[in-house]
Protein backbone atom coordinates (compact mmCIF):
# COMPACT_ATOMS: atom_id res chain seq x y z
CA UNK A 1 0.00 0.00 0.00
CA UNK A 2 1.45 3.34 -1.04
CA UNK A 3 1.84 6.16 1.49
CA UNK A 4 -0.99 8.17 -0.16
CA UNK A 5 -3.39 5.21 -0.20
CA UNK A 6 -2.52 4.36 3.38
CA UNK A 7 -3.19 7.95 4.46
CA UNK A 8 -6.57 7.91 2.72
CA UNK A 9 -7.42 4.55 4.32
CA UNK A 10 -6.55 5.85 7.79
CA UNK A 11 -8.77 8.88 7.20
CA UNK A 12 -11.67 6.67 6.13
CA UNK A 13 -11.25 4.35 9.13
CA UNK A 14 -11.11 7.34 11.47
CA UNK A 15 -14.44 8.58 10.13
CA UNK A 16 -15.88 5.11 10.61
CA UNK A 17 -14.73 5.13 14.21
CA UNK A 18 -16.43 8.47 14.84
CA UNK A 19 -19.70 7.37 13.25
CA UNK A 20 -19.67 3.68 14.18
CA UNK A 21 -22.99 3.82 16.03
CA UNK A 22 -24.77 5.13 12.93
CA UNK A 23 -23.03 3.12 10.21
CA UNK A 24 -25.51 1.33 7.93
CA UNK A 25 -25.32 -2.45 7.84
CA UNK A 26 -25.66 -4.15 4.46
CA UNK A 27 -28.90 -6.09 4.03
CA UNK A 28 -26.83 -8.83 2.39
CA UNK A 29 -24.88 -9.58 5.57
CA UNK A 30 -26.19 -11.91 8.27
CA UNK A 31 -24.75 -13.91 11.14
CA UNK A 32 -23.81 -17.48 10.23
CA UNK A 33 -25.20 -20.21 12.44
CA UNK A 34 -22.50 -22.33 14.11
CA UNK A 35 -23.56 -25.75 15.35
CA UNK A 36 -21.15 -25.96 18.29
CA UNK A 37 -22.32 -23.51 20.94
CA UNK A 38 -20.16 -21.24 23.08
CA UNK A 39 -21.20 -23.15 26.20
CA UNK A 40 -20.09 -26.44 24.61
CA UNK A 41 -16.67 -24.95 23.82
CA UNK A 42 -16.41 -23.70 27.40
CA UNK A 43 -17.43 -27.07 28.83
CA UNK A 44 -14.77 -29.02 26.93
CA UNK A 45 -12.15 -26.58 28.30
CA UNK A 46 -13.65 -26.79 31.81
CA UNK A 47 -13.71 -23.03 32.28
CA UNK A 48 -15.92 -19.97 31.97
CA UNK A 49 -14.50 -17.85 29.13
CA UNK A 50 -14.16 -14.15 29.79
CA UNK A 51 -12.21 -11.05 28.86
CA UNK A 52 -9.97 -9.58 31.55
CA UNK A 53 -9.45 -6.01 30.36
CA UNK A 54 -6.40 -4.40 32.02
CA UNK A 55 -6.50 -0.62 31.66
CA UNK A 56 -4.21 2.04 33.07
CA UNK A 57 -1.42 4.44 32.23
CA UNK A 58 1.76 3.36 30.49
CA UNK A 59 3.98 1.96 33.22
CA UNK A 60 1.10 0.94 35.49
CA UNK A 61 2.05 -2.73 35.17
CA UNK A 62 -0.38 -4.04 32.55
CA UNK A 63 2.09 -6.17 30.56
CA UNK A 64 3.83 -7.49 33.68
CA UNK A 65 0.56 -8.49 35.33
CA UNK A 66 -0.83 -9.91 32.07
CA UNK A 67 2.17 -12.21 31.62
CA UNK A 68 2.16 -13.36 35.23
CA UNK A 69 -1.59 -13.98 35.06
CA UNK A 70 -1.21 -15.95 31.82
CA UNK A 71 1.45 -18.16 33.45
CA UNK A 72 -0.83 -18.84 36.41
CA UNK A 73 -3.70 -19.84 34.13
CA UNK A 74 -1.32 -22.17 32.28
CA UNK A 75 -0.18 -23.70 35.58
CA UNK A 76 -3.80 -24.25 36.56
CA UNK A 77 -4.60 -25.93 33.26
CA UNK A 78 -6.71 -23.03 31.97
CA UNK A 79 -6.72 -21.89 28.34
CA UNK A 80 -5.79 -18.21 28.15
CA UNK A 81 -4.20 -15.79 25.71
CA UNK A 82 -2.76 -12.27 25.95
CA UNK A 83 -3.57 -9.44 23.57
CA UNK A 84 -1.01 -6.67 24.00
CA UNK A 85 -1.00 -3.17 22.56
CA UNK A 86 2.33 -3.25 20.74
CA UNK A 87 1.66 -6.67 19.21
CA UNK A 88 -1.70 -5.56 17.80
CA UNK A 89 -0.08 -2.48 16.28
CA UNK A 90 2.25 -4.71 14.24
CA UNK A 91 -0.64 -6.45 12.48
CA UNK A 92 -4.37 -5.84 12.86
CA UNK A 93 -3.97 -2.12 13.51
CA UNK A 94 -0.79 -1.44 11.55
CA UNK A 95 -2.79 0.94 9.35
CA UNK A 96 -3.76 3.18 12.28
CA UNK A 97 -1.92 6.13 13.74
CA UNK A 98 -2.19 7.61 17.23
CA UNK A 99 -4.82 10.29 16.78
CA UNK A 100 -7.77 10.12 19.16
CA UNK A 101 -9.95 8.67 16.40
CA UNK A 102 -7.41 6.01 15.42
CA UNK A 103 -6.91 5.01 19.03
CA UNK A 104 -10.65 4.59 19.40
CA UNK A 105 -10.82 2.46 16.26
CA UNK A 106 -7.91 0.37 17.54
CA UNK A 107 -9.71 -0.45 20.80
CA UNK A 108 -12.97 -1.29 19.03
CA UNK A 109 -11.14 -3.71 16.73
CA UNK A 110 -9.49 -5.29 19.75
CA UNK A 111 -12.85 -5.60 21.47
CA UNK A 112 -14.25 -7.59 18.55
CA UNK A 113 -11.17 -9.83 18.48
CA UNK A 114 -11.50 -10.47 22.21
CA UNK A 115 -15.15 -11.42 21.78
CA UNK A 116 -14.32 -13.93 19.05
CA UNK A 117 -11.70 -15.48 21.33
CA UNK A 118 -14.03 -15.76 24.32
CA UNK A 119 -16.67 -17.26 22.02
CA UNK A 120 -14.02 -19.87 21.19
CA UNK A 121 -13.81 -20.73 24.90
CA UNK A 122 -10.68 -18.80 25.88
CA UNK A 123 -9.89 -16.55 28.82
CA UNK A 124 -8.56 -13.43 27.10
CA UNK A 125 -6.21 -11.03 28.86
CA UNK A 126 -6.33 -7.65 27.12
CA UNK A 127 -3.57 -5.26 28.19
CA UNK A 128 -4.20 -1.81 26.73
CA UNK A 129 -3.99 1.76 28.00
CA UNK A 130 -7.42 2.31 26.39
CA UNK A 131 -7.72 5.84 27.78
CA UNK A 132 -11.19 6.64 26.43
CA UNK A 133 -13.93 5.58 28.86
CA UNK A 134 -16.60 5.88 26.19
CA UNK A 135 -14.85 3.32 23.99
CA UNK A 136 -14.14 0.93 26.88
CA UNK A 137 -17.82 1.11 27.80
CA UNK A 138 -18.73 0.49 24.15
CA UNK A 139 -16.70 -2.72 24.17
CA UNK A 140 -18.30 -3.83 27.43
CA UNK A 141 -21.91 -2.97 26.63
CA UNK A 142 -22.17 -3.22 22.83
CA UNK A 143 -19.69 -5.99 22.03
CA UNK A 144 -19.86 -8.05 25.22
CA UNK A 145 -23.43 -7.07 26.16
CA UNK A 146 -22.25 -6.55 29.76
CA UNK A 147 -21.40 -10.25 30.12
CA UNK A 148 -18.07 -12.05 30.60
CA UNK A 149 -16.16 -8.76 30.61
CA UNK A 150 -14.04 -7.89 33.65
CA UNK A 151 -12.55 -4.41 33.65
CA UNK A 152 -9.43 -4.17 35.81
CA UNK A 153 -8.21 -0.67 36.53
CA UNK A 154 -4.54 -0.41 37.48
CA UNK A 155 -4.62 2.71 39.61
CA UNK A 156 -1.09 4.07 39.56
CA UNK A 157 0.16 7.60 40.23
CA UNK A 158 1.62 9.32 37.20
CA UNK A 159 4.79 10.00 39.22
CA UNK A 160 5.27 6.25 39.74
CA UNK A 161 4.70 5.56 36.04
CA UNK A 162 7.27 8.21 35.10
CA UNK A 163 9.81 6.64 37.47
CA UNK A 164 9.23 3.18 36.02
CA UNK A 165 9.12 4.30 32.36
CA UNK A 166 10.24 0.87 31.00
CA UNK A 167 10.25 2.07 27.37
CA UNK A 168 11.52 5.63 28.01
CA UNK A 169 8.24 6.93 26.57
CA UNK A 170 7.60 9.43 29.36
CA UNK A 171 11.12 10.77 28.93
CA UNK A 172 10.43 11.36 25.24
CA UNK A 173 6.98 12.82 25.90
CA UNK A 174 8.28 15.24 28.52
CA UNK A 175 11.02 16.28 26.09
CA UNK A 176 8.41 16.98 23.43
CA UNK A 177 9.54 14.12 21.20
CA UNK A 178 6.15 12.35 21.50
CA UNK A 179 2.93 14.33 21.20
CA UNK A 180 -0.49 13.46 22.66
CA UNK A 181 0.98 11.00 25.13
CA UNK A 182 -1.58 9.68 27.63
CA UNK A 183 -1.01 11.11 31.09
CA UNK A 184 1.22 13.95 29.87
CA UNK A 185 -0.61 15.94 27.20
CA UNK A 186 -3.51 13.58 26.46
CA UNK A 187 -6.22 12.57 28.96
CA UNK A 188 -6.91 9.23 30.61
CA UNK A 189 -10.52 8.66 31.65
CA UNK A 190 -10.60 6.85 34.98
CA UNK A 191 -13.11 3.94 34.94
CA UNK A 192 -16.29 4.73 36.86
CA UNK A 193 -17.31 1.20 37.81
CA UNK A 194 -14.57 -1.36 37.07
CA UNK A 195 -14.99 -4.86 38.45
CA UNK A 196 -11.52 -4.69 40.03
CA UNK A 197 -9.36 -1.74 41.13
CA UNK A 198 -5.71 -2.43 41.90
CA UNK A 199 -3.38 0.13 43.46
CA UNK A 200 -0.05 -0.93 42.00
CA UNK A 201 1.72 1.54 44.28
CA UNK A 202 0.39 -0.48 47.21
CA UNK A 203 0.32 -4.03 45.84
CA UNK A 204 3.09 -5.98 44.13
CA UNK A 205 2.47 -7.52 40.71
CA UNK A 206 2.15 -10.93 42.37
CA UNK A 207 -0.47 -9.63 44.80
CA UNK A 208 -2.39 -8.03 41.92
CA UNK A 209 -2.43 -11.35 40.06
CA UNK A 210 -3.69 -13.14 43.15
CA UNK A 211 -6.54 -10.65 43.54
CA UNK A 212 -7.56 -11.06 39.89
CA UNK A 213 -7.40 -14.85 40.18
CA UNK A 214 -9.65 -14.77 43.23
CA UNK A 215 -12.37 -13.16 41.13
CA UNK A 216 -11.85 -15.25 37.99
CA UNK A 217 -11.55 -18.63 39.68
CA UNK A 218 -14.65 -17.97 41.76
CA UNK A 219 -16.48 -17.37 38.49
CA UNK A 220 -15.01 -20.58 37.07
CA UNK A 221 -16.30 -22.87 39.82
Where exactly are the structural domains of the chain?
A: 49-219
Integer angstrom CA distances of residue 111 from 14, 115, 125, 126, 156: 16, 6, 11, 9, 24
Q: Taking Cα atoms as reference points, which of 6, 1, 10, 16 lies closest to residue 96? A: 10
CA distance 21 to 183: 28
49-219: which CATH number, 3.10.620.30, 3.30.720.200, 3.40.50.300, 3.40.50.1400? 3.40.50.300
pLDDT of 40 reads: 93
Check if 130 is active-site.
yes
Give tens-digit pLDDT for 45-92.
999 999 999 999 999 999 999 999 999 999 999 999 999 877 888 888
pTM of the model: 0.84
Q: Average pLDDT of each block of 10 consecutive residues along the chain (221 residues)?
A: 44 49 63 85 93 96 96 96 87 85 92 96 96 95 94 96 92 93 93 95 95 85 56
Q: Taking Cα atoms as reference points, which of 177, 182, 1, 29 lies closest to residue 104? A: 182
Integer angstrom CA distances of residue 213 from 15, 99, 149, 207: 39, 34, 14, 10
**Which residue in the list 94, 130, 141, 204 is annotated as catalytic?**
130
Contact 125, 66 (CB under 8 A): yes
Integer angstrom CA distances of residue 28 from 21, 25, 138, 170: 19, 9, 25, 47
Amino acid sequence: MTWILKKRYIKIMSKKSQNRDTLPVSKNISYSNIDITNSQRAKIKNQNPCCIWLTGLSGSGKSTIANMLDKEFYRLGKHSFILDGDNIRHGVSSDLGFSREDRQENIIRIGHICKLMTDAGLIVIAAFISPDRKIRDFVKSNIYKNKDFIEVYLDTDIETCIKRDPKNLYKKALAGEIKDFTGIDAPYDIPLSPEIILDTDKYSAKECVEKILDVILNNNK
